[in-house]
Structure 1
Amino acid sequence: MQWTSILAIYGLLWVLSAFLVLPFGLRTADEEGQEVERGHADSAPVNFRPGKVAMRAAILAAVFLGLFYLNYVYGWIAVEDLNFFGTPPMKEMGY
């Protein structure tokens, strides 16, 4: 696998990981005992820390990339393993 492919896959996994870790650790104004300002949503977080989210996403993406690479090397799950519906009818006819 080329290093550019690894970098691209890491980027995709980082974005996925960022969405996965985004809601963890956030607190609303109501949970913090603060008053919600006029024009703000009640569910808006008061302690959003993008650096912490990015660090958590980087660590989780590295774990996912490690698992992806190990699967690539050892072939634990192949494309054929993901075929849940059987052979397509057109392929049975030789098309």
Structure 2
Amino acid sequence: MTSISTALAIYFVLWWVVLFAILPFGVRSQSEQGQRAPGTDPGAPVKAQMLRKLLWTTLISALIYAAAALAYRAGYLDIDRLSKLFGLPLN
């Protein structure tokens, strides 16, 4: 059993990884839309839709974390199995 702080740390890292994977979806740049604001980069997004992306990130992270937690409790993610999977010998 892991501690609450360890579980939160794992979820925090997972959340950021998922966020960076989700950020590019649905982004239209100013040059693609033809709506360039003076003084901005042509690649700047027209609508970033950050609230929507933050909600999706939270949902997807929770699902991945829940699946990993269930696999860990069922014994599929123990150190012996993972070391064999990655070819790392245990001393």
Question: Where on the TM-score scale, by shorter chain, does this alignment land: which range?
Answer: 0.7 to 0.9
**In 2, Cα distance between the equivalents of 1:61 and 1:21?**
11
Deviations 1:26-45 (A, max 9, x none): 1101221223533x222211
Indicate if the aligned counterparts of 2:11 and 2:61 stay in contact, CA closer than 8 A. yes
- Normalised by the length of structure 2, the TM-score is 0.75
- Structure 1 residues without counterparts, runs of 5 or longer: none
Match of 1:11 in 2: 12
Greater C-alpha radius of gyration: 1
Secondary structure of the structure 2 residue equivalent to 1:80: helix
Q: Structure 1 residue runs of 4+, over 4 Å off?
A: none
Aligned residues: 88
In the superposition, the TM-score normalised over structure 1's length comes to: 0.73
Aligned to 1:48: 48
Name the CA distance, whole Å, in 1 between partners of 2:36 and 2:88. Answer: 57
Equivalent residues of 1:30, 1:36 under 8 A apart: no
1:86/1:13 CA distance change after superposition, 3 Å: closer
Give the corresponding residue for 1:32.
33
